Amino acid sequence: MMHDAFSDGVEPGGLYNSNEIKILICYMLMGAGEPMPRQAVMDIIYGNGMANLFEVGAAIDELIRYDNIVESEDGTLSLTDTGIQIANTLSGMIPYALRERSVKSAIQMLTRIRRERENSVKIEKIENGYNVTCIINDYDSPLLSFTLKVADQLQAQMIKEKFLNDPVLLYRAMLSILTGDARYTQGESCIQIDLK
């Protein structure tokens, strides 16, 4: 069976037709509700096995060429009125599961980008391991900053990922513990914190 697109990296149920890939890109950008970095669009569609990476890049280029999306100087992609019309009128051609997964992934990606912009993690190699400094910012000044010493780079990366996944939860937990507002129980292998 011949397809318009290459099949490398495409999972069962994914898209092979370049027109369908373009429709999915427009739909995802519309569902995200804000501009997205080009690389994020490619990572979401290819990373979830929805389409081939090469075909996604070619589809983005073609959408730009035909003024369905615009790429800003910082590499973010935005829908034009024509792109919105494509998403609204043709999205039914794309399986619902792919549409839902692409928008959900886009929103998660934008949330993560926002968290990385608002909060930061510095990993510094020291003599006997690594220092991991996590900073929660309140506009231009730090709201909370702490440094942990860990044994290796793998632990440092794990802490970075967990912190950036939900820095507000960590802030609430620390604040509740330090102000005495949290009730916690300590068992042999777990600590449970009830946040107020």
Nearest to 41 by CA among 62, 58, 57: 57
Give the list of residues 6+ apart from residue 31 with CB closer than 8 angstroms, or none.
99, 102, 103, 106, 107
pLDDT at 44 over 70: yes
Least confident of 40-54, 121-135, 165-179: 165-179
For each of the domains in the chain, give its residue range(s) and CATH number, in order of start: 18-116 (1.10.10.10), 118-194 (no CATH)
Torsions phi, psi for 161 (to 5 deg)? -65, -45
Give the list of residues 6+ apart from residue 36 with CB closer than 8 angstroms, or none.
28, 29, 76, 77, 106, 109, 110
* b/e per residue 104-127 (b: at least 16 CB within 10 A): ebbeebbeeeebeeebbbeeeeee
Q: What is the pLDDT of residues 105-146, one digit of tens each?
A: 999 889 888 888 888 899 999 999 999 999 998 877 788 899
d(CA 94, CA 67): 21
Q: What pLDDT does 7 receive?
A: 66
Q: What pLDDT does 70 receive?
A: 96
d(CA 40, CA 118): 18
